[in-house]
Structure 1
Amino acid sequence: MLGNFSYKNATKLYFGDDSLKYLNEELPKYGKNIQLIYGGGSIKKNGLYDEIIQILKDNGKNVIEDAGVMPNPTVEKLNEGVKLAKENHVDLLLAVGGGSCCDYAKAVSVSVNCDEDPWDKYYIRFEEPTCEIVPVGCILTMAGTGSEMNAGAVITNHEQKLKIGHVFGEEVMPKFSILNPKYTFSLPKRQMVAGIYDIFNHICEQYFSGDDDNTSDYIAEALMKSVIHSSLIAIENPEDYEARSNIMWTATWALNTLISRGKTTDWMVHMIGQSVGAYTDATHGMTLSAVSIPYYRFIMPYGLNKFKRFATEVWGICAEGKTDEQIAEEGLQAMENWMKQIGVALKLSELGVTEDMIDGITEGTLILEGGYKVLSKDEVKQIIKASM
């Protein structure tokens, strides 16, 4: 492993089908006013809302409801949440839902006591919080983003056609997260597989960089194999607890910063996918799946050894009698076949992208370093066109 690094993860996790009871252990640590954050109301249909409300009441908490968090939280919704938290002097932001709710809660947490416009401060200037941060807790109902154990928060600005993520410092990480795999059983299949691909791509973005012998890459390979194995079980039986628990746990470890230690990372699939999302509001995991294969085929010549390793170690491709290029390409073909099998989008046109959006999506794509090649805007456009 190369370079120097530090590692700390401040989030406490409670995992398993009896994990909600531990909310009783966490709530006494915080003040009386709890902002309960959730999405479209599915938690009311499945009974989780009532359970949480009862626990909050039993602990003497005053509940301020913040419903309607959309799959791609907007700057307008963020401003609403900040206003609500300020008016009610909130002591804890409790997010119940998937990554969007968790991201939104973290964005609110750094904005409540800040007098500046949060979009401008955090998402345009990429500044760090200079004010008191309201603590966040998460109760996860969808596996995918890893937001339950990291400091990232993605917000969409439709007016500016931008979808941007800010990875804050460890002080913004959720103080605790409750992970019950059974809460994911009722997800529609499309949401489940989008989350599965999001997990897989998080691992890819950290794996496809560097040429040294790095322990992080060995961990990444094991996580990828776990996702592949469990995904095939879950699409056949969505209520297979073992498969869904493995998917949920892998999602957390895919993006809690562990496998990025001691190496550079390549987040260009996410940068392109997020720009697509700003134009289409398409499901995040699907925007990633639609651009992944064209992107990885484009950069494969620049990181051929890693792509060869990916083929043999993750997909079990036989290397005998083949060139490195053939082995690497077979690995990407195996990945594409798996993506087809689980049912994710493989073309941007499936997500509503039209030819007249290509220039805007290209312009809205942030160019990051860290991968095997730093892209030009023309190369980004080439990849987007290949994804159509």
Structure 2
Amino acid sequence: MKLDFYYHNPTKIYFGKTALEHLPAELANYGDTVLLVYGKGSVKKSGLYDEITAVLQKAGKTVVELSGIKSNPTYTQMLEGARLVREHQVHLILAVGGGSVIDCAKGISLSAYCKGDPWERYWVNFEDVDNEIVPVGAVLTMAGTGSEMNGGSVITNEEKMLKNGRVYPPEVYPKFSILNPEYTYTVPKYQMVSGIFDTMSHLMEQYFSGTDDNTTDYLIEGVMRSLIHSARIALKNPEDYEARSNIMWCAAIGLNTVTGLAKEQDWEVHMIEHQLGAYTDCAHGAGLAAISIPYYKYISPYGLDKFVRFANNVWEIPTDTMTKEDAANAGIEKLTAFIEELGLPQTLRELGATEAMLPLIANSTVQGGGYKHMTADDILNVLKACY
């Protein structure tokens, strides 16, 4: 491992069927007023909303609600949450839902007392957060983003047609997260598989970089193998507890920064998808699936050894008698087959993108990359291959 690193993850994880039993003890650590943030109503249909509000009521909390958070949370929604925090002097923001809800809650937490425009200061100029941060707790209902155990917050500014993400320092991480795999059973199949591929993409973004012998790469390979194995079981039986628990933990590990330690990292697939999402409002994991294969075919010549290793160690392809190019392509073909197995889209047309959008997406995408630095022209080439 060649790169120095600092690691601190302050999030407490309560995992398993009894995880919610720890919520009362956590609530006791905060003041009287809680902002309850959730999505479009699935938590009410599942009965989880009633369970949580009963716990809040028993704990004597005053509850303020912000509902209807979109799958791509908007800056407008985030600002409304910030207004509620100030108006009601909220002591804890409790996010109940998937990564979008948790991302929005974190955005609210650091924006409520921001001096100036939070978007420009924190999501565009990446300034240090110099104001009070309201604590966040989470009850996770969809596995995929890893937002339950990190400082990431991806917000869509609809007015500017920008979907920007930033990883904030540990002060912004959820103070605690409750992870009961049973809460993910009610998620529709499309969202389940989108979350699975989001996790896979997080792992690949960190994996496809560097040439050193890095312990982190071995960890990533193991998590990818576990994810693929459990995904196949969950596709056949969505209520297989062991499979869903493995998927949920893979998602948390995949972006709690452990699998990025001492890694250069890539993240260009995510940067492209963010702008695709700004224009189409597509499911994040589905967008990643459509972009990944053309992108990895585009960059694999620049990082052949890692792609050969991916084929061998993740997909168990015997590569000894193959050329590096053939081995790399064989691994990418296995990834293609996995996307097909999940039933995810493989073209941008399926996600609502038009040909006219492609240069707009390319020109507004944050440029970067791992084995190859991507220019706007490179990104447009990938988008055309995805279309």
Verify same fold: TM over 0.5. Answer: yes
Q: How does 1:218-233 map to 2 (within 5 A)?
A: 218-233=218-233
Tell me the SS of whatever aligns to 2:2: coil
- Asked if 2 retains the 8 angstrom alpha-carbon contact of 1:230 and 1:246, the reply is yes
Structure 2 counterpart of 1:387 = 386
Alignment correspondent of 1:332: 332
- Tell me how far apart the structure 1 counterparts of residues 276 and 158 of structure 2 sit (CA, whole Å): 12
Contact 1:161 1:364 in 2 (8 A): no
**C-alpha distance in structure 1 between counterparts of 2:354 and 2:260, whole Å:** 35
Equivalences for residues 68-79 of structure 1 within 5 A? 68-79=68-79
Cα distance in structure 1, aligned partners of 2:87 and 2:141: 28
Q: What is the deviation of 1:227?
A: 0.7
Distance 2:320 2:206 in 1: 28
Residue type of the alignment partner of 2:222: A
Task: Please name the residue that 2:168 is paired with.
Answer: 168
Once the two structures are superposed, residues 261-293 of structure 1 have per-residue CA deviations (whole angstroms, 9 ceiling, x without a partner) of 112010000000111000000000011000000
Aligned match of 1:206: 206
Percent of aligned pairs sharing the same letter: 52
> What are the Cα deviations for residues 7-41 of structure 1, in whole angstroms up to 9, with x where unaligned?
11000000001100100110000000000000001
Contact 1:198–1:284 (CA under 8 A) maintained in structure 2: yes
Partner of 1:3: 3
Contact 1:38 1:68 in 2 (8 A): yes
Tell me the equivalent position of 1:376.
375
Unaligned runs of 5+ in 1: none
Spell out, residue by residue over 1:174-200, the C-alpha distance to the aligned partner (whole angstroms, 9 max, x if none): 000000000000111000000000000
Aligned partner of residue 197 in structure 1, secondary structure: helix
Query: Where does residue 273 of structure 1 map in the other structure?
Result: 273
Instruction: Output the CA distance in 2 between the equivalents of 1:313 and 1:51.
Output: 43
Alpha-carbon deviation of 1:376? 1.1
For 1:70 and 1:243, how far apart are their aligned partners in 2?
A: 27
Task: Report matched runs for 1:301-340 at 5 Å.
Answer: 301-340=301-340
Q: Distance in 2 between matches of 1:368 and 1:104?
A: 25
Distance apart, 1:115 and its partner CA: 2.4
**Cross-structure match for 1:250:** 250
Q: TM-score if structure 1 supplies the norm length? A: 0.99
Corresponding residue number in structure 2 for 1:300:
300
Q: Give the Cα–Cα distance (whole angstroms) in 2 for the partners of residues 7 and 167 of structure 1.
A: 14
Question: Which runs of at least 4 in structure 1 moved beyond 2 Å after TM superposition?
Answer: none
* Whole-angstrom distance in 2 between the partners of 1:86 and 1:361: 35
Q: How many residues align?
A: 387
2:366 maps to: 366
In structure 1, the residue matched to 2:93 is 93
**3-state SS of paired residue (2:269):** helix
Q: Return the alpha-carbon distance in structure 2 between the equivalents of residues 34 and 7 of structure 1.
A: 30
Structure 1 residues 272-291: aligned runs within 5 Å: 272-291=272-291
Number of the residue aligned with 1:357? 357
In structure 2, distance between residues paired with 1:206 and 1:288: 14
Aligned CA RMSD, in angstroms, stands at 0.7
> Shift of the alpha carbon at 1:321?
2.1
Give 3-state SS (helix, strand or coil) of 1:301's partner. Answer: helix
The 1-side partners of 2:99 and 2:29 are apart by 24
Pairwise CA distance, 1:3: 2.0
Deviations 1:95-143 (A, max 9, x none): 0000000000000000111121111111121112100100000000000
The amino acid that maps onto 2:347 is: K
Q: The residue matched to 2:350 in structure 1 has which SS?
A: helix
**Unmatched 5+ stretches in structure 2:** none
CA–CA distance in 2 between the matches of 1:39 and 1:106? 15
